[in-house]
Amino acid sequence: MRTAAVIPAFNEADRIGFVVAELIGKVDAILVVDDGSTDGTAEAAEAAGAIVVYHPTNQGYMAALRTGFASADADILLTIDADGEMPLENIDALMAPIRQGLADMVQGHRQKIVRPSERLLTWLASLKGPVGDSGTGMRAIRTDLARQLELKGECICGVMALEVLAKGGRIQEVPISLRSVAKPRGVAWYHLKQIFHLLPWMFDLRIKRVADDK
Q: What CATH number has the domain bearing residue 208?
A: 3.90.550.10
Dihedral class, residue 4 (left if φ above 0, else alpha if ψ from -120 to 50, else beta): beta
The torsion angle over the Cα atoms of residues 39, 41, 42 and 48, rounded to 10 degrees, is: 140
For residues 68 and 65, give the distance between their C-alpha atoms in angstroms, rounded to a whole number.
5
Structural domain of residue 189, as residue ranges? 3-213
Q: What is the pLDDT of residue 173?
A: 86
Count structural domains, the chain.
1
Q: What is the pLDDT of residue 162?
A: 80
Q: What is the pLDDT of residue 211?
A: 45
Q: What is the pLDDT of residue 185?
A: 47
pLDDT along the chain (214 residues), means of 10: 96 96 96 97 98 95 94 96 83 94 88 57 57 71 96 70 86 75 51 59 51 48
Pairing of strands 29-35, 3-9: parallel
Burial label, 116 (beta-carbon count in 10 A; 0-12, 13-18, 19+): exposed
SS3 77: strand
Q: What is the pLDDT of residue 123?
A: 54
For residues 211 and 214, give the distance between their C-alpha atoms in angstroms, rounded to a whole number.
5
pTM greater than 0.85: no
Instruction: Please name which of 161, 152, 1 lies closest in space to residue 79, comparing C-alpha atoms.
Output: 161
Q: What is the pLDDT of residue 210?
A: 40
**Measured distance between the N- and C-terminal CA atoms of the chain, rounded to whole angstroms:** 35
